[in-house]
Amino acid sequence: MSASWPFWAVLAAVFAALTAILAKLGVEDVPSNLATLIRTLVVVAALSGIVWATGEARGIGSVSPRSLTFLALSGLATGASWLCYFRALKLGPASRVAPIDKLSIVLVAVFAGLFLGEKLSGAGWFGVVLIAIGALLVANG
């Protein structure tokens, strides 16, 4: 089970949900940018421990320049996303911020088609539209 992508995707969703609730509680009396920094430092510390404990740190020298470039750009996008997310949580209710944040699912489908050549079926695109509608209904409800 631990080797299946759906297992890990469900865990990611559970932790993302916890992130919204815990972050909303944590950002209450803290500036959103400082809250993002604290969260980021915790992530860096935890992942550093995992990478060193599993021995994966030995492979850092073999990361290609192309992979390094795209991972760095992904890191910048993650940082921007977290900054915006924490600012939104500071200003609005988690139950309305999180659904709008999850519109990223819709954007991933579009970007994956445009930039990665991935294709969804008609039913898949219908699901993407339903996600968009659902997110907007929850956010405005």
Same domain, 50 and 71: yes
Same domain, 75 and 30: yes
pLDDT of res. 44: 96
Same domain, 10 and 70: yes
pLDDT band per the 50, 70, 90 thresholds, residue 1: low
Question: How many domains in the chain?
Answer: 2
Instruction: Specify the 3-state DSSP secondary structure of 39.
Output: helix
Domain containing 86: what range?
Answer: 1-92
Predicted confidence (pLDDT) at residue 141 exceeds the cutoff of 90: no
pLDDT in tens, 45-88: 999 999 999 999 999 999 999 999 999 999 999 999 999 999 99
**Per-residue b/e over 70-99, b at no fewer than 16 CB within 10 Å?**
eeeeeeeeeeeebbebbbbbbeeebeebbb
Would residue 33 count as lying in a domain?
Answer: yes
CB 135 within 8 A of CB 100: yes
pLDDT, average across residues 127-133: 97
Predicted confidence (pLDDT) at residue 108 exceeds the cutoff of 90: yes
pLDDT band per the 50, 70, 90 thresholds, residue 138: very high
Same domain, 31 and 87: yes
Would residue 97 count as lying in a domain?
Answer: no
Cα-based distances in Å from 109 to 12, 14, 25, 128: 18, 21, 31, 7
- The one-letter amino acid code at 67 reads S
Q: Which residues contact 34 (CB under 8 A, 6 or more apart)?
A: none
Is the pTM higher than 0.85? The answer reads no
pLDDT, average across residues 89-104: 93
Neighbour count for residue 35 (Cβ, 10 Å):
21
